[in-house]
Structure 1
Amino acid sequence: MSIIAQFGPHLPFLRRYARALTGGHQSGDAYILASLEALKNDPSQIREGSSARVTLYRFFHTIWLSTGARLETGPKAGAAMLETRLKQLAPIQRQAFLLTTLEGFTRPEACEIMEIPAAGLEDLLDAAHREIESQLATTVLIIEDEPIIAADLAHLVEDLGHKFVGNATTRGQAVEMARKIKPGLILCDVQLADNSSGIDAVQDILSEIDLPVIFITAFPERLLTGERPEPTYLITKPFQDDAVKAAISQALFFRTETVLDQAD
Structure 2
Amino acid sequence: MTAITDASTLASAIGGELPYLRRYARALTGSQGTGDAYAAAALEAILEDRDVFASERRPKVALFQVFHGIWQSSGQPVSEDETGLAQAAQAHLSKLTPNTREALLLQSIEELSIEEIAFVMGIEQSEVRHLVEVAEREMADSVSGRIMIIEDEAIIAMDLQAIVADMGHAITGVARTRDAAIELARAEAPDLILADIQLADNSSGIDAVNDILRELGTLPVIFITAFPERLLTGERPEPAFLISKPYREDQVRSAVSQAMFFSSTEPLHS
Normalised TM-score (structure 2): 0.91
Pair 64,165 (structure 1): closer, same or farther in 2 beyond 3 Å: same
For 1:97 and 1:212, locate their aligned partners in 2 and report how far apart those are by CA, in whole Å. Answer: 19
For 2:85 and 2:23, locate their aligned partners in 1 and report how far apart those are by CA, in whole Å. Answer: 22
Paired position in structure 1 for 2:254: 246
2:235 is the alignment partner of 1:260:
no
How many residues in Structure 1 have an aligned counterpart in Structure 2?
260
Paired position in structure 2 for 1:136: 143
Paired position in structure 2 for 1:99: 106
2:239 is the alignment partner of 1:234:
no
2:127 is the alignment partner of 1:120:
yes
Of 144-153 and 86-95, deviating more is 86-95
- Aligned residues of 2:32 and 2:238 also touching (Cα < 8 A): no
Pair 118,79 (structure 1): closer, same or farther in 2 beyond 3 Å: closer
Q: Which amino acid aligns with 1:215?
A: F
2:79 is the alignment partner of 1:55:
no
For 1:202 and 1:24, locate their aligned partners in 2 and report how far apart those are by CA, in whole Å. Answer: 17
Normalised TM-score (structure 1): 0.93
1:172-224 superposed Cα distances (whole Å, 9 cap, x missing partner): 00000001111111100000000000000000000011321100011111211
Pair 140,70 (structure 1): closer, same or farther in 2 beyond 3 Å: closer
Paired position in structure 1 for 2:50: 43
1:198-255 superposed Cα distances (whole Å, 9 cap, x missing partner): 000000000011321100011111211222232121110001111111111111112x
- Aligned residues of 1:171 and 1:196 also touching (Cα < 8 A): yes
For 1:226 and 1:48, locate their aligned partners in 2 and report how far apart those are by CA, in whole Å. Answer: 25
How far residue 48 of structure 1 moved from its aligned partner, in angstroms, is: 4.4
2:81 is the alignment partner of 1:109:
no
How far residue 81 of structure 1 moved from its aligned partner, in angstroms, is: 2.4
Q: SS in structure 2 opposite 1:208?
A: helix
Pair 73,224 (structure 1): closer, same or farther in 2 beyond 3 Å: farther
Paired position in structure 2 for 1:66: 73
Of 189-198 and 224-233, deviating more is 224-233
How does 1:68-83 map onto structure 2 within 5 Å? 68-72=75-79, 74-78=81-85, 81-83=88-90
For structure 2, the residue ranges without an aligned partner over 5 or more in a row are 1-5
Identical residues among aligned pairs (%): 47
Q: SS in structure 2 opposite 1:253?
A: coil
For structure 1, the residue ranges without an aligned partner over 5 or more in a row are none
Paired position in structure 2 for 1:213: 221
- Aligned residues of 2:31 and 2:86 also touching (Cα < 8 A): no
Aligned residues: CA RMSD = 1.7
